């Protein structure tokens, strides 16, 4: 049985400047930020990820069954969002396929959106966003925008493999990490990520509605957070992504 991961494009485009990736992990930051941005930008659905090794799950939106791993585009930006946690057994295959596809589409910068757990999140009025770049050129982009580069810490899971494989392939890669709750969905941290994307690549989305719906989003995404927590425990990501005390 062929368990390989495939990207199925229902609408073709030869190249993209940026590829954004948001999957459930710490605080559901990437999922919330990208899901909200796709909706507000009215991005066009253009494909999905498929594999016989994926769990037997579909999602239903507006009465239409869909893959939980979907692709959307807005001009020269393509977004990959997952509505279920990426299983540990498929992380490597998923990451390899994303990098391979991004290279083929001449992507200039792959950006993974995530959270980084901090113990004093409740005391922070606004989450700070840190960056981890695959090269000096990517880090120079962060410095030009007065962003802090994560100097010490651990990254695990899909984002770690994306970074590793991007470096091997010579694909510029950036991981954005917003200070976040570990065990609860964090729309505030997602809003900080959205603001950072506007500053870095001109992907502007008004985050005010997201902030106004924080409690509603937390309740809506509670079950996804529980499933994500279980997956994170398997790869020990919760412990590994805690922000070192020197940054708190």
Q: pLDDT tens-digit profile of 34-51?
A: 999 999 999 999 999 999
Closest CA to 32 of 175, 182, 190, 183: 190
What pLDDT sits at residue 113?
A: 97
Q: How confident is the model at residue 227 (pLDDT cuts 50, 70, 90)?
A: low
What pLDDT sits at residue 152?
A: 85
Greater pLDDT, 214 or 230: 214
Outline where DSSP puts E strands in the chain. Answer: 6-9, 18-22, 44-50, 59-61, 64-66, 69-74, 77-82, 109-117, 129-133, 148-149, 173-180
Q: Is the predicted pLDDT of residue 223 greater than 70, yes or no?
A: no
Tokens of 98: 């994303």
Report the percent of the chain where pLDDT is more than 90: 63
Q: Is the predicted pLDDT of residue 244 greater than 50, yes or no?
A: no
Tokens of 20: 């954004």
Q: Please list the alpha-helical segments (H only) found in 56-157.
A: 91-104, 136-144
Q: pLDDT tens-digit profile of 141-150?
A: 999 999 999 9
Q: Is the predicted pLDDT of residue 245 greater than 60, yes or no?
A: no
Q: Is the predicted pLDDT of residue 231 greater than 90, yes or no?
A: no
C-beta of residue 179 within 8 angstroms of C-beta of residue 243: yes
Q: How confident is the model at residue 29 (pLDDT cuts 50, 70, 90)?
A: very high
Greater pLDDT, 240 or 225: 225
Q: Is the predicted pLDDT of residue 133 greater than 90, yes or no?
A: yes
Residue 119 to residue 40: CA distance in whole angstroms: 31
DSSP 188-210: HHHHHHHHHHHHHH------HHH
Least confident among 28-32, 52-56, 163-167, 213-217:
213-217
Q: How confident is the model at residue 241 (pLDDT cuts 50, 70, 90)?
A: very low
Mean pLDDT of the chain: 88
Domains, the chain, in order of start with CATH, read: 17-247 (3.40.50.10900)
Question: Taking the model in full, what pTM does it have?
Answer: 0.87
Q: How confident is the model at residue 217 (pLDDT cuts 50, 70, 90)?
A: confident
Closest CA to 104 of 25, 201, 16, 178: 16
């Amino acid at each position: 049985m062929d368990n390989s991961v495939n990207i199925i494009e229902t609408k073709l485009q030869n190249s993209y400047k940026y590829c954004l990736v948001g999957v459930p992990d710490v605080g559901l930051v990437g999922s919330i930020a990208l899901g909200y941005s796709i909706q507000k930008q009215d991005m066009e659905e253009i494909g999905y990820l498929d594999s016989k090794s994926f769990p037997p799950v579909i999602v239903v939106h507006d009465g239409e069954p869909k893959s939980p791993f979907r692709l959307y585009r807005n001009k020269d930006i393509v977004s990959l969002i997952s509505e279920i946690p990426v299983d540990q057994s498929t992380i490597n295959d998923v990451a390899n396929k994303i990098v391979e596809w991004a290279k083929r589409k001449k992507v200039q910068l792959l950006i993974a959106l995530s959270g980084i757990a901090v113990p004093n999140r409740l005391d922070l009025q606004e989450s700070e966003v840190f960056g981890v770049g695959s090269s000096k050129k990517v880090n120079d982009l962060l410095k030009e925008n007065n962003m802090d580069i994560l100097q010490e810490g651990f990254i695990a899971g899909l984002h770690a493999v994306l970074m590793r494989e991007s470096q091997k392939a010579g694909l510029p890669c950036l991981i954005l990490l917003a200070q976040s709750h570990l065990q609860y969905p964090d729309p505030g941290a997602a809003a900080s990520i959205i603001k950072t994307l506007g500053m870095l690549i001109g992907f502007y989305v008004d985050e005010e509605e997201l902030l106004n719906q924080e409690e509603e989003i937390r309740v809506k995404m509670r079950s996804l957070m529980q499933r994500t927590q279980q997956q994170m425990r398997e790869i020990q990501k919760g412990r590994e992504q805690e922000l070192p005390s020197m940054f708190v």
